[in-house]
Amino acid sequence: MDRLKELVENLDASGIESPYLDRLRAKVEKRVAARHEAGLDALRREILAEMAASLGRAEDRINEALLKLDLLGRSIDASDTPPSYEKIAEFNAARKLAERRIWELTVQRECLGMRRHDILREIYPLPPER
């Protein structure tokens, strides 16, 4: 293909006109456009893959924060004695972190053009503060 492209460019620079040159020029232009489009498609796929991976990482951070919150809540509920102020403060701080992680995912989704976030409350329910 590079040989044909070079031939077409050289003949174009020489000012030669030929129906055969026109055919080759069209073929070269079509292949160049196809390569360009293939490059754009690869770039689009790479961008979409990174968007999906980024959303996945955000979800991992939410699940990690909610897990910590769940374990703290279970620890408080399993205790026979009233929870200490420190335990309640730790739970509420973990809740704020989980809430922040959900907000971060919401912002990320907004940046990607997703506008409906109602489902996030269902998927990632936050327990009330204690």
CB 69 within 8 A of CB 98: yes
Three-state secondary structure along 73-108?
HHHHHHCCCCCCHHHHHHHHHHHHHHHHHHHHHHHH
Provide the residue ranges of all domains of the chain, joining segments of one domain with +: 2-123
Asked whether the predicted pLDDT for residue 32 surpasses 90, the reply is no
User: Of all residues in the chain, what percent carry a pLDDT higher than 70?
Assistant: 99
User: Of all residues in the chain, what percent carry a pLDDT higher than 90?
Assistant: 77
pLDDT in tens, 47-93: 999 999 999 999 999 999 999 999 999 999 999 999 999 999 999 99
